[in-house]
Structure 1
Amino acid sequence: MAEEHYLELSENPVQFEHASSVNNVFFDEANKQVFAVRSGGATGVVVKGPDDKSSVAFRMDDKGEVKCIKFSIGNKILAVQRTSKSVDFINFIPDYPHTEFTQECKTRNASILGFCWTSWNEIVFITDQGVEFYQVFPDKRNLKLLKSQSINVNWYQYCPETAVILLSTTVQGNVLQPLAFKNGNVSKMSKFEIELPVIPKPAKLSLSERDVAMATIYGQLYVMYLKHHSRTANSPGAEVVLYHLPREGPCKKSHVLKLNTTGKFALNIVDNLVVVHHQSSQTSLIFDIRLKEPDCSVNTQQPVLPARSIHPYRIPLSGSAVVPSQPPVPCQLYSSSWSVFQPDIIISASEGYLWYLQVKLPPTVKLLQDKGKLMDFLLRRRDCKMVILSVCSQILEGSEKAELPVVATVFDKLNQVYKEYLEAEQSYAAAVESGPSRGAATQKRPVRTQAVIDQSDMYTHVLSSFSERKGVSHKFIIAVLMEYIRSLNQYQITVQACLLLSLEGTYPPAHQLSLDMLKRLSTANDEIVEVLLSKQQVLGALRFIRSVGAHDNVSARKFLDAARQTGDQMLFYTVFRSFQQRNQRLRGSPAFNPGEHCEEHVTHFKQLFGEQAMMKASTV
């Protein structure tokens, strides 16, 4: 079971002073910073971020209980909310006045629910009556109202990656209004309604903030709604309903993720996977919205893998009181004191830890038996290359050996991604060549992800070791090699047969197989000649160029250099004679032209075999 934990907490968590009666803990989702505020800041504020650069420590006057505290992007300006009417600001820019300044909300009788920084000097106040968008002037120590929007607000959520604020409106709270902020502008996106499991009568707030999350999945913004099991509706369990939120156009319900159970849940996004934590069973489920179930409607999905717990985690003890032999303390996973933040953060305020949730790919291989589906899943993950190559090796040998159609499916899935990358590279190169007028300036160079498994990867990590295995039939080896070549041809990828030639040492038939294949593919023959000559197979190279009809055009010097380097005098004699014959046939004389630069080889031949040998004809 231990090897089946496909989720784990990061090895080096961010540590901070745990929450207590004198220490309040806050988290800023935009900068991923934890604030430990002691005694309202009078005895110190310690800010810990994902790296040391974003960690800060300072003191501030205790002016009452802190409700919310966040730095602007880049730790330039600190904003602190202590009342429901105003927000205080402190400059952290060098050489700027350090004195606090305050901004009250403009809307009369409104209460500030919270605030969000959208840039280093732009901030949004969210009140129960709407939003107020300000620009902060740290040098003048004041703010300017850029835009305001009146709307009744129950609660809000913020997605820092897209600078979109989601407002819960209406009495029931299920009409959501997204607002996008950029460069001093605010734009209304399409509002939409969340379908509630039960409509309450009389109407009351029915959509809870903790059941909604915003996240970017595969580059698109989604609102995730945790729809709980309804006893009256006789539904089998809770669901996560995804609403796709485009920049323009209507918001649409796009996916329904079936949880098949009830209880308390929390959501994370890791490596474009939706992770659903279930507290009572202490397990998590993962969903990949790009994987379509063949037996389900397009938007209804079951978990990719069976439910498993996060890998057990032990908290290392530290401090002067630690006894060296004392073992680390097991961490209570799925604790009720855990707080989950988007996309992949879990915080235990009571223990003083912030972890990043991570996916472990090797355990998924055994849990996902369908190799085609497994490949689809792995190809979309960040660190997938070595796991994919190990799966390719597994399906070719040993107890996990698969049937040829399965091998073909795996090759096709890999080569489809490989082809897409090659086409993107070609498109980029063409755009660069055509100059900036054709839009090359806007086209970015394609990023080579780990999902691109090229021929070199396949030969180095899979095919070469596979062909070395004892007990594997030659028939199966040839079938696999031909299947890989078929797949490359299907996606119109030029086969690099020189790599196939490199298998010759471990599997001799690969040599002839690759040469035959090259003739059929009309691939550049120079590359093959280079490989053969580098392996001192000079006669093999000579036969190859004759077989493809290229003997009349090749460089005699290249072959004579290679023959001489072997130290085999008879080989040198044979190659020299072969080119003398060619010269005789083409030009009526066995002599080399000055442009062929073979003078030193002629001298060497005379030294070895004498002047008289120059005149004789010979055949290979």
Structure 2
Amino acid sequence: MSVELISTSLRIERNETFLSLDDYLNIVILSGQNGFGYVSLSTKERVFYWYDLSTTIYTSQFSSDKTIKDAKFSSNGIYTAAQFNDTDIEILNTKDGKRIIQTTKFKSTKGTVILGFYFISTSLLIITNTSLELYQIIANGDNIQCKLVKDTKIKIQSFIYSSKSGILLSYGGDKNNSIQPYKFTSNYIEKLPKFAIESSTLLDINNLYITLLYGKTYCIYGDNTQISFYEINPETVYRTQVIQLILPGKNNIQFVDNLIIVHYNELSVVYDLKMLKEDFPISAIPMVYKPSPSSPSTTTSDGSSPSNGSSPNTSSPRSGATPRITASSSSLLLQQRENAQQQQQQQPSLYARTWRYVHPNYIFDSATGQFFEVRLNYEKIAHFFQVDIADKIIPFLQQRSTQSAKQALLAHIKTMVEFKKDTLESFGKIFDSLNHDLRIMTGKNNTLMLQKHLTAKKMDSNTGATSTMGSRLNHSLGNTTPRTSGQNNDEDEDLMGDVQTRQETNTPAARGSDLNIGSTRRLNQSANNTITTPPPTQQQQPSTGFLQQLNRSPTLTSQSIRSTFTVSEGEEIGGMQKPPMVMASLSRAPTNIIVNSEDLFEHVFNPIYEKIEEELKVNHIHQPHQPQPQQTLILKSPTKSSEIDSRYLISIITEYLRSLNFSHCGISDKIFTLLLSLFINNNMFSQLHQFLQYHVVEDSPNIAYKLLSISETYPPALQLSLDMFKRLQMPNVIIHTLLEKKQVLLAIRFMRSTKTKCDPEPILRIANESSDNNLFFVVYKYFEDNNLIQGVANCEKYTTIYKKKFNETLSLD
């Protein structure tokens, strides 16, 4: 595991000043010589507001000498505010350009100075050295009004504020290091219990932080020797934990993915509150620089360097650079070498003195103007854990929320399975833990969709629109209402005939089969019988072929709901450029990574299966050729070790299926297909039959086609596939399969029982080629009686054949 310094492709120009980072909106707020604005860290789009003193409007064409001390933006993108002096805040409505100057309530008090201000929804919090003032911003017609909702008199020397938690920690400068916390909403100020920071030295506000770790809000204070954690609750604030630093000295603390990173001059140490053992860190290695793919130093395929946030084929209007196109491969190679040298020269100096550590995990280099992000790479995480806590690697990675941690988790599980590092019971506990998080997150997502549905239903008076929304909701939540096939009449004929590959009638599958082509019982014994099927996992494909859908399966993805940041295009209003809207929507964000069956198939089970298959092929090539019986199409494992590996993988996948069913989580169709392939490769047909009989393997078109493909090797698989096709309500595939087996009469009876219509030409052709006049007579009369042959151009010749064969016979009678 390493600490990486990632370039964000954001460079602050020399005529710009970095003001602050709004981690709630994910924007960097800047000020220029004559204005202020922000840069989105997600879209890299710059939005600036210039102020002209003579016209008192915000525009992009004039300039002024007014110095901007600070600026903020509301979460709904409607308002922005800027501070130009010690007692006034100017609020701008970005929609119509109207503005208002809000003065602090205690401006008349000598020495009153605004220390900071923040937007809380549509309210504005102003923090002075003598008070806390909360104003509600009201758009009244053409004017903006600020109504004082709540104020509190308090002496404040310094403070820190968290926009995500809405908590402010004020420090009055006393020797007891007393901290007074406040909790803010859009219309209320809640005073929390006062507490004191336990430190041998006078409190330094720069070493005080507010962050969220494992779902709890902490006030964290760090000095040169230790880090203290104070849990903030509405009733009390108390110190929960202290980390004694392994390296005393000046440091900077940052927080990434519920972990604490302590930066020294040449080293970065990572701690975890849940895995502390005698204050021993998880890792302690130097930071590594990793350029971002969109960083200015990264070269494109043509050798050019894209500008900030722009695509490789377009130039940034700020830089004025144009992409260079080389004419020959030699010049392209030379240019790539030059760009590589330039990239090496542009690599920042790590742990520079000009670095400014920005909470929670950003670094601003004031010398170069570059803005970096600090991330954690969990690759080779097992190397950083002690031997006696190696079993905690998966719980540790499971509590992370980044893609890097997810990849490391899947890689570690793959290694454990591949080298059999644990027991089957231990794997079951791992799978139960993963599926528990998956079920919780799926439930949260379904709850959110249900809330949206109820809100839409309450606001929408149109019954039709409401029912449409309800049907969409049922589909999104995975409607498990059993589907029933159409009721059949009592006149349904028996499915007679014998198929050479049918299953023995005394087997459990034959006794419980829905469609037994080797028995003489009815297709549906009662008109009230229903066929229960699971929810469809994908749309049914046209049944023009039997195996074309074998590799097609649904993709199960976990929808992680996060806070989003969107920017809409600006428009011109009254001669003023309307700024893009900054929208921040609050929603639940997952605290743990989510691993579903699709992830385990792609990164764990399928790679191991492919490796086993490769080993079998290599061993088969090196062994002397041994002729196999012609009827055996399955490659049996040539070595004992490979066969054991296959069977071990079967047991692991079976345990994973048990855990998924126990947690009521969705299962990817690929898992079932892989399990069937393992059964087939190991000639474990009886186990395959049992899994299908007891519905361990769910019905799906892919599984049915897979069974159909092995019907020549394992004859009972034909009966199993036809039963599954019937439960899936895919009668056309059944009819085509019966026709391939030359079971024309059985296909006709199935068409009559299910009232299925299909093209009569191929059925008449097969009946005619069979040289069985009785069969051709029955087939032709069926289509004729049901008016399915009249007007069909391809069937005229069969009408002629019918008259030629049977008109003479009838005349003799």
Q: Per the shorter chain, which TM-score range? A: 0.7 to 0.9
Residue 474 of structure 1 aligns with which residue?
A: 643
**CA shift at 1:16, angstroms?**
1.3
Q: Separation in 1 of the partners of 2:95 and 2:598?
A: 52
What is the alpha-carbon distance in structure 2 between the residues aligned to residue 72 and residue 349 of structure 1?
A: 23
Contact residue 459 and residue 499 of structure 1 kept, 8 A: yes
The answer for the alignment partner of 2:495 in structure 1 is none
Q: 2: CA distance between counterparts of 1:403 and 1:219?
A: 31
Secondary structure at 1:180's aligned position in 2? strand
Give 1:70 deviation, angstroms: 0.9
Amino acid at match of 2:608: F
Counterpart check, 1:378 vs 2:397: yes
In the aligned structure 1, how far is the partner of 2:656 from the partner of 2:726? 34
Considering Cα pairs closer than 8 Å and 6+ residues apart, tell me whether 1 or 2 has the greater RCO: 2
Residue 99 of structure 2 contacts residue 144 of structure 2 at CA under 8 Å; is this kept in 1? no
List aligned pairs for 1:177-576, cutoff 5 A.
177-188=180-191, 190-198=192-200, 206-229=202-225, 238-239=226-227, 241-246=228-233, 248-277=234-263, 279-280=264-265, 282-289=266-273, 291-292=274-275, 302-303=280-281, 305-312=282-289, 316=297, 326=342, 327-364=344-381, 366-368=383-385, 372-379=391-398, 380-383=400-403, 384-397=405-418, 402-404=421-423, 407-408=427-428, 410-421=430-441, 447-448=559-560, 451-469=593-611, 470=615, 473-490=642-659, 492-493=662-663, 499-502=671-674, 504-505=676-677, 508-509=681-682, 512=685, 513-521=687-695, 524=698, 530-532=704-706, 535=709, 537=711, 540=714, 542-543=716-717, 545=719, 558-564=733-739, 572-573=741-742
CA contact (8 A) 1:26 1:35 kept: yes
Q: 2:20 — aligned with what? A: 27
Deviations 1:6-41 (A, max 9, x none): 22233333211348xxx7542254664342444xx4
Distance apart, 1:209 and its partner CA: 0.2
Q: Which moved more, 1:599-608 or 1:385-394?
A: 599-608
Cα distance in structure 1, aligned partners of 2:248 and 2:731: 79
Query: Which SS does the other structure have where 1:133 is aligned?
Result: strand
8 Å Cα contact 1:532/1:540 also seen in 2: no
SS at match of 2:734: helix
* Alignment partners' CA distance in 1, 2:649 and 2:755: 43
Which amino acid letter does the alignment assign opposite residue 263 of structure 1?
G
Question: Which amino acid is 1:284 matched to?
Answer: S
Cα separation, partners in 2 of 1:522 and 1:210, compared to 1, 3 Å? closer
DSSP-derived class of the 1:394 partner: helix
SS in 2 for 1:351: coil
Which is higher, the Rg of structure 1 or of structure 2? 2
Distance 1:149 1:520, change over 3 A: same
For residue 254 of structure 1, report the CA deviation from its aligned partner. Answer: 3.5
Residues 487 and 367 (structure 1 numbering): CA distance in 2 closer, same or farther, change over 3 Å? same
Q: What is the Cα deviation at residue 414 of structure 1?
A: 2.9
- How far apart, CA to CA, are the structure 1 residues paired with 2:147 and 2:723? 80
Distance across 1 between alignment mates of 2:102 and 2:438: 56
Deviation of the 1:546 alpha carbon? 6.6
Q: Which residue of 2 aligns with 1:7?
A: 3
For residues 89 and 725 of structure 2, the distance between their equivalents in structure 1, rounded to whole angstroms, comes to 84
Q: Which amino acid aligns with 1:262?
A: P
- The letter of the residue matching 2:113 is I
Deviation at 1:158, TM superposition (A): 0.9
Q: Determine which of 152, 163, 168 is the counterpart of 1:165.
A: 168
CA distance in 2, matches of 1:274, 1:66: 37
Conserved? CA contact 1:16–1:34, under 8 Å:
no
The corresponding residue for 1:116 is: 117
1:48: Cα distance to partner?
A: 4.1
**Does 1:91 pair with 2:113?**
no
Residue 562 of structure 1 aligns with an amino acid whose one-letter code is: T
Distance across 2 between alignment mates of 1:106 and 1:528: 74
User: What is the DSSP-based 3-state SS (H/G/I as helix, E as strand, rest coil) of the residue aligned with 1:458?
Assistant: helix
1:152 and 2:155 matched: yes
Describe the superposition over 1:142-194 as per-residue Cα deviations: whole angstroms up to 9, x where unpaired: 75433221222231111112332211246125322222222232222x22323
How far apart are the structure 1 equivalents of 2:146 and 2:756? 80
Q: CA RMSD in A?
A: 4.7
Which residue number in structure 1 is paired with residue 72 of structure 2?
Answer: 71
Deviation at 1:613, TM superposition (A): 8.1
* Partner SS for 2:412: helix
Q: Deviations over 1:79-127 (max 9, x none)?
A: 22433xx124263636545797755634623432512222476333323
Residues 1:146 and 1:99: Cα distance change in structure 2 (over 3 Å)? closer
Unaligned runs of 5+ in 1: 201-205, 230-237, 566-571, 584-589, 616-620
Q: What is the CA–CA distance in structure 1 between the aligned matches of 2:608 and 2:177, rounded to whole Å? A: 58
Q: Judge conservation of contact 2:20–2:29 (CA < 8 Å) in 1.
A: yes
Work out the CA distance in 1 between the residues paired with 2:702 and 2:73: 60
The change in CA–CA distance for 1:428 and 1:519 in structure 2 (over 3 A counts) is farther
Matched residue SS, 1:537:
coil
Q: How high is the sequence identity, in percent, across the aligned residues?
A: 14
Contact 1:101–1:141, Cα closer than 8 Å, also in 2 = no
Residue 268 of structure 1, CA deviation: 2.0
